[in-house]
Chains A and B, each alone.
Chain A
């Protein structure tokens, strides 16, 4: 049976959402997420925009050759790929903890008759 054709009805009451949002478990989850996501976001934005800023405003410096005629500009651009992959990898590792905390919250709520 395809249940998704029916308009969705929430079994969970507004009070239950508020209760979860105010619970220590949920606040824990949000705090744990914040500790990783906020610094990671700021770091990648700064690291990324350093590239157009340096290349745009210090082209001579960025044209400095390092080896085999490869310059700083190319190496810095290339490093962005590894930066992105590293952050993604670290995020997936950290997100394992988020999943555990979220699972506890869901289980507790279902016991209270919420969720669906």
Chain B
């Protein structure tokens, strides 16, 4: 093969998705069509799209890498990322679809004062989405440059390419194009992962016992010494004294954060009703669960077949899955898996861009600044398109400034922590607590946001002493021992978010919020008066 095979596959994917964007652009007139794909997406389609939105490069390449390098502890991420959907299914998906229109703030604004609540919710959405996106963009740039090594594509070109594509999908194709990009990506990702898993099993002669036997004696070099470890043993990553607590804290952020991620929540507005939203969560759970079970084969397969030593010298942890593909079935398969990784990144950043720009246009522009009135038809969509340009441009700029070696993994943890500590408490309290009011919502959002950001700033992710060999943006921001011992702030910040929301409520009175509770309760539980699909 030539080094350009991955590039050709990337270009094929780009061509197909641009075709879809063109098709979608002709069907995206009007707010409901642009922001919510006309609410006509079918349950199974939305389920696949939710999976596509959710399974980021962090899950595909990241988890495979963590398992390949640290064994069992990496698999715990896989578990949390699926079980989290029970919170989505049991608590938020249906009420949100029943009572909202385009964003999570719609549900809060029902009985609370719309302007302060939407301003805060929009701020929190923008923080979650842009942090998450910067992490994806830095990862994307580094990865595309690595995957296309030999094609002469630099980190900078890769970031700009990914950025421009996601802006094109969102600006021209709206939610409809974004949805179909997610669907195609999810199907490709599932197919690639399934193929890889089968090849791993074939490598062990389809004997699971031989596979697990190999996992129990993974061999690699550490500081010049040969090490043999049972990679199914827990605790290789999360070590005492704080490891176990960090693991629980991570679990809390995943379980309660997923149901507060704006780019996942907006997906439930694309279906006709709450029942379809429910069915789409179940579809998503089947796909996401099967995928994460298969990370067993990707991660442990890379550990046993490729080996830590080889991966370390050929691009590092994130290359575990592509290198496994190369080892099992050669360069064309490597190119295929690389193209899937590329598709994965593009789809996720497109989803993030549309949720951020929707929140800015619908919550902030129309409802906060212009008090809920569109001054002329189409203004909200226009503002969203401009916002997508700005959000995309800003994250491209920051990603390029940070560079490929930047320490950005904490940004994903931060996004989940903010979603779990700021967004989830106010969504839940708004739906389930009659006494809840505007002051409570704003203080809950503010406390959750500040606690998550503050604790991450003083955590080992940003506060540690690096050896002088670490240079540039790979260095920790603060060169001193961490003041907060956990990488994941959830165990502290989630309770703080709830306390902030509850205290704010108890210290204030708002009779209208109380009176309108019945309306929200009936709407969210029955779907009476909910937003309808566009009929043609």
Chain A residues in the interface with B (C-beta under 8 A)? 2, 4-5, 7-8, 10-12, 14, 17-18, 20-21, 26, 29-30, 33, 37, 40-41, 44-45, 48-49, 51-53, 55-57, 59, 62-63, 68-71, 73-74, 77-78, 80-81, 83-85, 87-89, 91-92, 95, 99, 102, 105-106, 109, 114-116
How many chain B residues have a CB neighbour from A under 8 Å?
68
Whole-angstrom CA separation of A2 from B516 in the bound complex:
28
Whole-angstrom CA separation of A91 from B275 in the bound complex:
12
Q: Is the CB of A56 within 8 A of B248?
A: yes
Whole-angstrom CA separation of A41 from B281 in the bound complex:
16
Neighbouring B residues of A62 by C-beta, 8 Å: 234
Q: Is the CB of A14 within 8 A of B519?
A: yes
Cβ-closest chain B residue relative to A71? B232
In the complex, which residues 231-267 of chain B have their Cβ closer than 8 Å to any Cβ of chain A?
232-235, 238, 243-245, 247-248, 250-251, 255
Q: How far is the CB of B333 from chain A (nearest CB, A)?
A: 27
Taking each of A48, A73, A115, which has the highest tally of chain B beta carbons within 10 Å of its own beta carbon?
A48
Given contacts A30-B525, A81-B82, 11 further A-B contacts (CB under 8 A): A4-B534, A7-B373, A26-B522, A48-B251, A51-B251, A55-B234, A56-B248, A68-B209, A69-B212, A77-B72, A88-B86
Q: How far is the CB of A77 from chain B (nearest CB, A)?
A: 5
| Binding stretch for chain A, among B186-194, B284-292, B309-317 | B284-292
Q: How far is the CB of B28 from chain A (nearest CB, A)?
A: 11
Whole-angstrom CA separation of A116 from B527 in the bound complex:
11
Query: Given A88-B86, A92-B279, are A7 and B372 neighbors across the interface (CB < 8 Å)?
Result: yes
The listed residue (B232, B235, B377) touching A74 by CB distance below 8 A is B232
The listed residue (B90, B247, B527) touching A40 by CB distance below 8 A is B90
Neighbouring B residues of A41 by C-beta, 8 Å: 86-87, 90-91
Contacts between the two chains (Cβ within 8 Å), count: 177
| Binding stretch for chain A, among B30-38, B52-60, B155-163, B324-332 | B30-38
Neighbouring B residues of A17 by C-beta, 8 Å: 518-519, 522-523
Q: Is the CB of B215 within 8 A of A69?
A: yes
Contact with A along B506-536 (1 / 0, CB 8 A): 0000000001101101110111110100100
The listed residue (A29, A63, A80) touching B79 by CB distance below 8 A is A80
Neighbouring A residues of B87 by C-beta, 8 Å: 41
Whole-angstrom CA separation of A87 from B373 in the bound complex:
42
Cβ-closest chain B residue relative to A53? B248
Taking each of B30, B232, B527, which has the highest tally of chain A beta carbons within 10 Å of its own beta carbon?
B232
Asked whether any CB of chain A lies closer than 8 Å to the CB of B230, the reply is: yes
Q: How far is the CB of B320 from chain A (nearest CB, A)?
A: 19
Q: Is the CB of A2 within 8 A of B534?
A: yes
Q: Is the CB of A48 within 8 A of B522?
A: no
The listed residue (B85, B91, B208, B528) touching A109 by CB distance below 8 A is B528
Cβ-closest chain B residue relative to A70? B212
In the complex, which residues 359-374 of chain B have their Cβ closer than 8 Å to any Cβ of chain A?
372-374
Q: How far is the CB of B107 from chain A (nearest CB, A)?
A: 14
Whole-angstrom CA separation of A55 from B72 in the bound complex:
10
Q: Is the CB of A57 within 8 A of B244?
A: yes
The listed residue (A2, A70, A71, A102) touching B32 by CB distance below 8 A is A2
Q: Is the CB of A71 within 8 A of B233?
A: yes
Asked whether any CB of chain A lies closer than 8 Å to the CB of B153, the reply is: no
The listed residue (B91, B215, B289, B377) touching A84 by CB distance below 8 A is B289
A selection of 17 A-B contacts at a CB cut-off of 8 Å is A5-B32, A7-B374, A12-B519, A14-B516, A20-B522, A40-B90, A44-B83, A52-B76, A52-B248, A53-B244, A56-B245, A59-B233, A71-B232, A73-B233, A91-B278, A95-B275, A102-B527
Q: Is the CB of B521 within 8 A of A21?
A: yes
Q: Is the CB of A77 within 8 A of B79?
A: yes
Cβ-closest chain B residue relative to A104? B526
Asked whether any CB of chain A lies closer than 8 Å to the CB of B293, the reply is: yes
Neighbouring A residues of B285 by C-beta, 8 Å: 84-85, 88
